[in-house]
Amino acid sequence: MLVGRLPPPCIRGVAHTGPAKMAPSLAATNTLCNSRVLKLVEQPGDDESWAAITGRGSFDQESLRCYYTTVVRLDSHLNGCMKWADAFAVGLPDAVHKTVILAAELHDIGKADPRFQAWLRGGNPIKPDELIAKSGRTGQSAAAVERARTLAGYPKRARHELLSVALIQNSGAVFDDIDFDLLLHLVGSHHGRCRPFAPVVEDTKPLNVLYGGWQASSDHQLERVGSGVCDRFWRLTRRYGWYGLAYLEALVRLADCRQSEAEQNHA
């Protein structure tokens, strides 16, 4: 279960305080996403509400085609995304421009999880220096993909982008002249999650994942309320505005899409 603080009423979206307004919001939420339960709890004497989210969201903004197109090396994919992001971010303030480019360069490093790599290869283990971003197994059915995930031992519904965030946070690297909060958010949200909640994933056999000189546990626990994911989203929303933050997210996601499209067309 996740528990997170909602923003002030002036910038609140579908969630509203007060019993009269709560029911329609919950009805709409359950209609759109019946696998997610949203509960608002009024705090007597407090002008804020709290939300608890259980289960998982059904707004999966990707498909099997994201991973199963043609074999693409991870470093090649990231370099290509970085170039697209550089072009799309032209005209932004320098620090924001650099942040968007860096987010595109790092967004998929969580795919370095050996189990994810094995999944892309049909469940077969791989060598650490053979990281790929996408698989060439284009003819596989959903059932075959699921069998490969099981063989690889990759946790069901695990999110590579959250591991990317964990690797960046634990890197100890000094990122000058960028918005570090924005970097973490753009990486974590590039498949539509962490706005504000990170999905809950049970990793019963966690690994210490390495990428270059960086390392992080696959059991990063970024879904917890104290992880900073939720607070960072609202902080950035106040900093850049609803549309501004969504626009910056779109730049990274579009760079990813354009690079993937180019890779598929080239194949």
pLDDT digits (tens, 9 = 90+) for 202-220: 999 999 999 999 999 999 9
Residues 6+ apart with CB under 8 A from 39: 26, 51, 52
Tokens of 51: 């939300």
Helices (H), 139-179: 142-152, 160-170
Could you tell me which residue, 84 or 123, shows the higher pLDDT?
84
Crossing angle (nearest 10°) for helices 160-170 and 180-188: 160
Q: Around Cβ 174, how many Cβ atoms within 10 Å?
A: 6
Share of the chain above pLDDT 70, in %: 72
DSSP code for 40: E
The interaxial angle of helices 242-266 and 94-106, nearest 10 deg, is 40
pLDDT digits (tens, 9 = 90+) for 216-244: 999 999 999 899 999 999 999 999 999 99
Query: 54 pairs with which residues across the strands?
Result: 37
Q: Where are the domains of the chain?
A: 2-55, 64-266
Q: How far apart are the first and last CA of the chain?
A: 43
Q: What is the 3-state secondary structure (H, E, C) of 105-145?
A: HHCCHHHHCHHHHHHHCCCCCCCCCCCEEEECCCCCCHHHH
